[in-house]
């Protein structure tokens, strides 16, 4: 069993603000290339094409009708796709959202209710407009529309289907006539809570914001607050939400802020904003390839090694899951920056201002860290004392209070480089672009879903750039095991072989399928395709007590006390 140690948020912030080189992780997974157990077999069985790039981004699934609901950014519609013939899915209908909003960002399905987040374009020059959630039945008939905050980016149902939580990202809107950040409008980040207790037609909504939080306090806790002129409530940008198994809490990633919001759904208030801290890439287990021009002649090479570097976790997707040791959170640590016409925080390390810095100039070359994208904003200090990168190239397990329990370290990057060498840090799984993402965020874990199979908790993590997904058994949250890496592209033909840019992922329990075999659906943004996978090889699910969350077959583990 491997336990991780993390400095307290207060101690960590004091050390960072004092210029100390501190780390949020002291032990993690082995630096060796992980050996897949292949206990479960994940097989692609059918692919639906929405019509090209952006035609498939997020997918929900209704096991009763065997229909998938897919956001189509090309046509600005919800594509309803029949998967009753799993190997040959077909379009049932395409429901345009243009009568209700300007774009669609997410979709989810539960208990016969389809929910989709819609955005509105700015009015005037750059005046933000509230978005909405559209509620439909599985035939595509609109039941109700509810107003949210600005730019709702994702939504999720509670397990009982009575609550929906919406992450309202509210990104800054630049003035097209004035590139100064002072001319931008930065709306409030929000978390909306929809009550479906009386049915979709009678649904009500409550929208929360972060006006009770101050920039000074959050910065002291190591939360990134940095858009020029914005308050903390404006700067915080909710990205993705998950709901606890008992439905009382929501956990919302604040990706650009490298933090998480904890929301009390019973009393409808935001309880806390917690920093994820940093990943120490100087540790053997946390190696990475930091350059796309490191073969000695400014060409690509595989060079996975340690560096004096701190990675900001900055997760996109987050999922709550239960084990006999308690409830935990899994995150896909994609990383993200703010790069707008009126403000861009990104800078290659070689281009940072090192005036007065004691950081070695040897780290500013193409062969070292010079090519790697970093930030001019917090936590970069002046003069520079530590170097930072976006994302952690991993997925992590956290306690529900935000303490790091386990991280996959460099396992994902090492396994792909070892097994599919030409796919190493490629751009959207294009083999000819080998190594081009090393100077950015590597394989970029982005989508994530955790499901129960035979009572065991299984994490499926989509890799936006490398393509495909890694599969881990996370039943023991302090010691997950690597099951496999699945990428139909490398097979060359058949279902999923044209997939690129996995984004949204949905798990369907064997308790909800006619043959008892669990399913995973993956929506791929770049290729505009959605692929269904069957998961075989696990124990039969115990569906007799849905309230148990199907954990009866799991060996009992000691309670987590870290």
Mean pLDDT over residues 37-53, rounded? 97
| Cα distance between residue 132 and residue 101, in whole Å | 8
Statement: residue 225 has pLDDT above 70:
yes
Return the pLDDT at 295. Answer: 95
Burial of 479-488, coded b for 16+ CB within 10 Å and e otherwise, reads bbbbbbbbbb
E strands, 443-501, are 445-453, 456-463, 469-473, 481-486
**Number of residues that this document lists for the chain:** 562
Main-chain dihedrals φ then ψ at residue 119, nearest 5 degrees: -110, 160
Return the pLDDT at 33. Answer: 95
Mean pLDDT over residues 307-313, rounded? 98
Which residues are 472's β-sheet partners?
459, 482
- pLDDT tens, 235-247? 999 999 999 999 9
Q: Is 400 helix (H, G, I), strand (E, B) or coil?
A: coil
| Cα distance between residue 130 and residue 123, in whole Å | 10
Q: How confident is the model at residue 548 (pLDDT cuts 50, 70, 90)?
A: very low
Closest listed residue to residue 331, CA positions, set 257, 397, 282: 397
Tokens of residue 139, six digits:
């035939």
Statement: residue 13 has pLDDT above 90:
no
Mean pLDDT over residues 392-416, rounded? 98
> Which DSSP string corresponds to 50-80?
-SSTTS---EEEETTTTEEEEEETTTTEEEE
Main-chain dihedrals φ then ψ at residue 361, nearest 5 degrees: -70, -15
Tokens of residue 224, six digits:
């990134």
- pLDDT tens, 60-105? 999 999 999 999 999 999 999 999 999 999 999 999 999 999 999 9
Q: How confident is the model at residue 159 (pLDDT cuts 50, 70, 90)?
A: very high
Looking at per-residue pLDDT, the higher value among 127 and 545 belongs to 127
Statement: residue 557 has pLDDT above 50:
no
Tokens of residue 214, six digits:
């101050």
Q: Is the peptide bond before 379 cis (omega within 30 degrees of 0)?
A: yes
Q: Compute CA distances 503 → 317, 332, 386, 398, 549, whole Å.
A: 9, 11, 32, 22, 26
Mean pLDDT over residues 131-153, rounded? 98
Tokens of residue 179, six digits:
């590139």
- pLDDT tens, 439-469? 999 999 999 999 999 999 999 999 999 999 9
Return the pLDDT at 545. Answer: 54
Return the pLDDT at 25. Answer: 32
Statement: residue 536 has pLDDT above 50:
yes
Statement: residue 560 has pLDDT above 60:
no
- pLDDT tens, 103-112? 999 999 999 9
Alpha helix stretches (DSSP H) within 295-424 = 411-419
| Cα distance between residue 83 and residue 64, in whole Å | 11
Q: What percent of the chain has pLDDT over 90?
A: 89
Main-chain dihedrals φ then ψ at residue 287, nearest 5 degrees: -65, 160
Closest listed residue to residue 101, CA positions, set 150, 165, 137: 150
Return the pLDDT at 547. Answer: 40
Q: Is 142 helix (H, G, I), strand (E, B) or coil?
A: strand
Burial of 355-388, coded b for 16+ CB within 10 Å and e otherwise, reads eebebeeebbebbbbbbbbbbebbbbeeebbbbb
- Mean pLDDT (the chain) is 92
Closest listed residue to residue 16, CA positions, set 562, 388, 461: 388
Q: What percent of the chain has pLDDT over 70?
A: 91
Mean pLDDT over residues 383-408, rounded? 98
Mean pLDDT over residues 132-141, rounded? 98
Return the pLDDT at 541. Answer: 86
- Sequence-distant (≥ 6) Cβ neighbours of residue 502 within 8 angstroms: 446, 447, 462, 463, 464, 467, 468, 469, 522, 523, 524, 525
- pLDDT tens, 478-507? 999 999 999 999 999 999 999 999 999 999
Q: How confident is the model at residue 543 (pLDDT cuts 50, 70, 90)?
A: confident
Say what the pTM is. Answer: 0.93
Statement: residue 10 has pLDDT above 50:
no
- pLDDT tens, 413-437? 999 999 999 999 999 989 999 999 9
Statement: residue 549 has pLDDT above 50:
no
Residue reference for tokens 């929910």: 115
- pLDDT tens, 336-346? 999 999 999 99
Q: How confident is the model at residue 554 (pLDDT cuts 50, 70, 90)?
A: very low
Closest listed residue to residue 415, CA positions, set 473, 486, 479: 486
Number of H helices, E strands in the chain: 4, 33
| Cα distance between residue 201 and residue 199, in whole Å | 6
Looking at per-residue pLDDT, the higher value among 121 and 545 belongs to 121
Q: How confident is the model at residue 19 (pLDDT cuts 50, 70, 90)?
A: very low
Return the pLDDT at 257. Answer: 98
Return the pLDDT at 31. Answer: 66
**Contact call for residues 77 and 103 (beta carbons, < 8 A):** no
| Cα distance between residue 467 and residue 501, in whole Å | 6
**Contact call for residues 163 and 200 (beta carbons, < 8 A):** no
CATH topology of domain 9-548: Methylamine Dehydrogenase; Chain H (2.130.10)
Statement: residue 309 has pLDDT above 90:
yes
Q: How confident is the model at residue 555 (pLDDT cuts 50, 70, 90)?
A: very low
- Sequence-distant (≥ 6) Cβ neighbours of residue 266 within 8 angstroms: 248
Cα dihedral 510, 318, 328, 284 in deg (nearest 10): 110
């Amino acid at each position: 069993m491997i336990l991780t140690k993390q400095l307290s948020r207060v101690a960590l912030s004091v050390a960072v603000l004092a210029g100390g080189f501190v780390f949020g992780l002291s032990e993690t997974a082995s630096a060796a290339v992980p050996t897949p157990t292949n206990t479960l077999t994940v097989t692609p069985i059918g692919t639906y094409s929405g019509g090209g790039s952006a035609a498939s981004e997020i997918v929900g699934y209704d096991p009763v009708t065997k229909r998938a609901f897919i956001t189509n950014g090309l046509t600005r519609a919800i594509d309803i796709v029949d998967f009753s013939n799993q190997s040959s899915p077909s379009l049932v209908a395409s429901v345009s959202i243009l009568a209700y909003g300007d774009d669609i960002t997410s979709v989810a399905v539960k208990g016969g209710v389809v929910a989709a987040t819609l955005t509105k374009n700015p009015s005037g020059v750059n005046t933000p407009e509230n978005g909405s959630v559209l509620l439909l039945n599985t035939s595509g008939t609109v039941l109700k529309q509810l107003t949210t905050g600005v730019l709702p980016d994702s939504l999720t149902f509670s397990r009982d289907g009575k609550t929906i939580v919406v992450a309202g990202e509210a990104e800054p809107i630049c003035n097209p006539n004035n590139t100064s950040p002072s001319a931008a409008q930065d709306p409030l980040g929000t978390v909306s809570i929809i009550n479906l207790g009386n049915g979709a037609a009678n649904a009500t909504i409550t929208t929360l914001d972060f006006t009770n939080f101050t920039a000074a306090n959050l910065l002291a806790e190591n939360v990134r607050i940095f858009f020029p002129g914005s308050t903390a409530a404006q700067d915080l940008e909710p990205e993705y939400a998950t709901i606890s198994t008992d439905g009382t809490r929501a956990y919302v990633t604040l990706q650009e802020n490298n933090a998480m919001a904890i929301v009390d759904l019973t009393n409808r208030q935001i309880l806390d904003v917690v920093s994820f801290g940093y990943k120490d890439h100087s540790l053997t287990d946390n190696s990475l390839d930091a350059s796309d021009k490191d073969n000695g002649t400014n060409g690509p090479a595989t060079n996975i090694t340690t560096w004096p570097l701190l990675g900001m976790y900055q997760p996109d997707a987050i999922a709550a899951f239960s084990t006999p040791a308690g409830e935990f959170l899994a995150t896909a640590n994609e990383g993200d920056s703010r790069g707008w016409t009126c403000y861009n925080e990104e800078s290659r390390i070689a281009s940072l201002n090192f005036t007065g810095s004691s950081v070695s100039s040897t780290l500013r070359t193409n062969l070292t860290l010079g090519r790697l994208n970093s930030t001019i904003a917090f936590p970069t200090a002046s003069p520079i004392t530590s170097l930072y990168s976006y994302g952690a190239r991993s997925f992590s397990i956290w306690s529900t209070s935000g303490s790091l329990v386990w991280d996959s370290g460099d396992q994902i990057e090492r396994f792909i480089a070892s097994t599919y060498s030409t796919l190493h840090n490629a751009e959207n799984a294009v083999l000819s672009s080998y190594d081009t993402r090393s100077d950015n965020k590597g394989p970029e874990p982005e989508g994530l879903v955790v499901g129960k199979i035979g009572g065991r908790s299984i994490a499926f993590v989509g890799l936006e750039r490398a393509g495909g997904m890694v599969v881990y058994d996370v039943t023991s949250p302090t010691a997950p095991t690597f099951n496999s890496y699945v990428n139909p592209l490398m097979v060359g033909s058949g279902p999923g072989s044209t997939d690129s840019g996995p984004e949204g992922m949905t798990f369907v329990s064997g308790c909800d399928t006619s043959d008892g075999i669990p399913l995973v659906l993956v929506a791929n943004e770049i290729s505009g395709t959605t692929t269904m996978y069957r998961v075989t090889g696990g124990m039969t699910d115990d569906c007799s007590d849905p309230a148990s969350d199907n954990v009866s077959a799991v060996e009992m583990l000691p309670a987590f006390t870290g």
